[in-house]
Amino acid sequence: MTELLQKVRMIDPVSEIDELSDVLIADGYIREVASHISDISSDTQIKDCQGLVLGPGLVDLYSHSGEPGFEERETLLSFLQAAAAGGFTRVSILPDTSPVIDNPALVAQLQQKRGGQGEQGEQGGNFSPLSPPSPLSSPLPLLHLWGAITVDIAGKQMTELADLASAGVVGFTDSKPLENLALVQRVLEYLQPLGKPVAFWPSDHQLTANGVMREGTDALRFGLPPIPTSAETTAIAAMLELVAAIGTPVHIMRVSTARSVELIASGKATGLPITASTTWMHLLLDTKAVKSYHTSLHLDPPLGNPSDVAALRAGVRAGVIDAIAIDHTPYSYEEKVQAFAEAPAGAIGLELALPLLWQYLVETEEFTALELWRALSSNPAECLGQKVSAIIPHQPAELTLFDPQQTWKVERKSLYTLSQNTPWLGQQLKGHVVQTWC
């Protein structure tokens, strides 16, 4: 099929371009990009894209799938459909499924299941009766799997890292902080020749204790157990020392404090091979939002104080924080209907992140469109050791078309994810993905 996108706002962080263009797409490739394209075949589908935004497909560094083990939260198919509906063309699943992704057989099984679902998820999926009835128009994104670093609950025994690397995992991480620094040191030494990304979530469990909210005046006002900034920063400082000693590149996940941004900036300034990410909700909300006690605002790490949010935003713009991750974490209604401190931490986000980030960061002119799109596409790809193609002729069409003005309501019938744990449930949003090419 041949499609001509006329007068679309093309945002290309690879080529540093933000301009109106015509874009011709045929047989999965970009055929022509010009200010005006008129020489087209009679069967070309012409789309008037005035007011729409076209950019490279979005890339999610890490998110959670319910399947295998917790299909009532999310199936692999619903996860991929939600990602496609949110503009993502590549997604990476964390290994904390049940069973954990810690062996080549499970990697092969999940890759085969994704392949069996086809571009539109026609086969091999488990549809929930609550799923939206409308079929997904965009192809399902490319699925990457993170391999687990450890195999036991105590976090003392490494997985067969080389076997997992050969099986095709995108990299290695655990969905819990690793506090055994001797083990972290061995992991970094062992992974150095494998050439796969390794990501760590820096958090000191002893300092976190039973806390559920970032330490500060709001935590005192709301009567919730606090988590000090040092729970994150001491773990980051230790990680930076290990990276300096060993030299293995490391990705630092879930950065949430202003002091963490300073530490990472200092490490990068000395040439340490590190990258970092924060999550989309940590860029939008701060501790004041917890006043509602909405359990979907119980995150781990917790939402930061206003100074943390300001530092994170500045860090993304400056490139100290390389990427924005979604960290989509679905939970069933029953799991989240508890007291704030008792509810499991996490919220969904694949279908919400781009509209809300655009609305509150780009439309307010705090971010340029290029800055936001870079942090959601080319930069997270680079953190995975991958590349995103520029929007130029002869390149594969891995693209996202976004309407920043389209309004829609966040409700069960408008979501492809099976879970509804989001503070934006029932609210009207502005901005919606029109189509992806993958």
The dihedral formed by the CA atoms of 203, 205, 208 and 209, expressed in degrees to the nearest 10: 170
Tell me the helices (H) and strands (E) count for the chain, helix number first.
14, 17
Beta strands 29-34 and 17-26: pairing type?
antiparallel
- Predicted confidence at residue 115, as pLDDT, reads 75
Number of structural domains, the chain?
Answer: 1
Q: Can you give the pLDDT at residue 116? A: 66
125, pLDDT greater than 60: no
Residue 123 pLDDT greater than 50, yes or no: no
Q: How confident is the model at residue 432 (pLDDT cuts 50, 70, 90)?
A: very high
Task: Return the SS3 of 323.
Answer: strand
Query: How confident is the model over 207-255, as pLDDT tens digits?
Result: 999 999 999 999 999 999 999 999 999 999 999 999 999 999 999 999 9
Give yes or no for residue 124 having a pLDDT over 70. Answer: no
Amino acid identity of residue 114, one-letter, is R
* Residue 121 reports pLDDT greater than 70: no
Q: Give the SS3 label for residue 59.
A: strand
Is there a domain that residue 303 lies in? yes
Query: Does residue 49 belong to any structural domain of this protein?
Result: no
Compute the mean pLDDT over every residue in the chain, rounded to the nearest whole number.
94
> In this structure, are residues 141 and 115 in contact, taking their beta carbons and an 8 Å threshold?
no
Per-residue model confidence (pLDDT) at position 154: 55
Q: How far apart are CA 280 and CA 282, in angstroms?
A: 5
3-state secondary structure of 432: strand
Q: What pTM was estimated for this model as a whole?
A: 0.95
pLDDT of residue 137: 76
pLDDT > 70: what percent of the chain?
95
**pLDDT class of 126 with cuts at 50, 70, 90:** very low
Catalytic-labelled residue, pool 174, 300, 327, 403: 327
Mean pLDDT across 84-103: 96
Q: What is the mean pLDDT of residues 168-176?
A: 94
pLDDT band at 122 (very low <50, low <70, confident <90, very high): very low
Q: What is the pLDDT of residue 131?
A: 44
Distance CA 67, CA 59 (A): 20
Question: Taking Cα atoms as reference points, which of 169, 23, 195, 188 lies closest to residue 110?
Answer: 169
Please give, one letter per residue, the 3-state secondary structure of 233-289. Answer: HHHHHHHHHHHHHHCCCEEECCCCCHHHHHHHHHHHHCCCCEEEEEEHHHHHCCHHH
* Boundaries of domain holding 272: 57-390+409-425
The CA angle 22-24-26, to the nearest 5 degrees, is 170
Q: How far apart are CA 138 and CA 131, in angstroms?
A: 16
- DSSP single-letter state for residue 303: P
How, if at all, do strands 399-409 and 323-325 pair?
unpaired
Cα separation, 379 vs 388, whole angstroms? 9
pLDDT for the residue numbered 207: 97
Look-up: residue for tokens 């990680």?
A: 239
Q: Is-catalytic flag, 327?
A: yes
Q: Decide if 26 is inside a domain.
A: no
Domain-embedded: residue 293? yes
DSSP symbol at 312 = H
Is residue 35 assigned to a domain?
no
Average pLDDT over residues 97-102: 94
| Burial label, 160 (beta-carbon count in 10 A; 0-12, 13-18, 19+) | middle
CA distance 345 to 27: 43
Strand 2-12 vs strand 53-56: parallel, antiparallel, or unpaired? parallel
Q: What is the pLDDT of residue 291?
A: 97
* 16, part of any domain: no
CB 118 within 8 A of CB 168: no
Query: What are the pLDDT digits (tens) for 325-384?
Result: 999 999 999 999 999 999 999 999 999 999 999 999 999 999 999 999 999 999 999 999
pLDDT the model gives residue 155: 63
Q: Which residue has the higher pLDDT, 214 or 134?
A: 214
Residue 46 identity:
I
Q: How many CA atoms lie within 13 A of 220 on its CB side?
A: 3
25 lies in some domain:
no
Read off the CATH number of the domain in which 183 is found: 3.20.20.140
What pLDDT, on the 0 to 100 scale, is given for residue 153?
53
Q: Is residue 218 part of a domain?
A: yes
Give the model confidence (pLDDT) of 395-431 as tens digits.
Answer: 999 999 999 999 999 999 999 999 999 999 999 999 9
The whole-number pLDDT of residue 1 equals 87
**pLDDT reading at 109 higher than 50:** yes
pLDDT at position 350 is: 98
- Residue 68: asked if its preceding bond is cis (omega within 30°), the reply is yes
Contact indicator for 391, 18 with CB cutoff of 8 Å: no
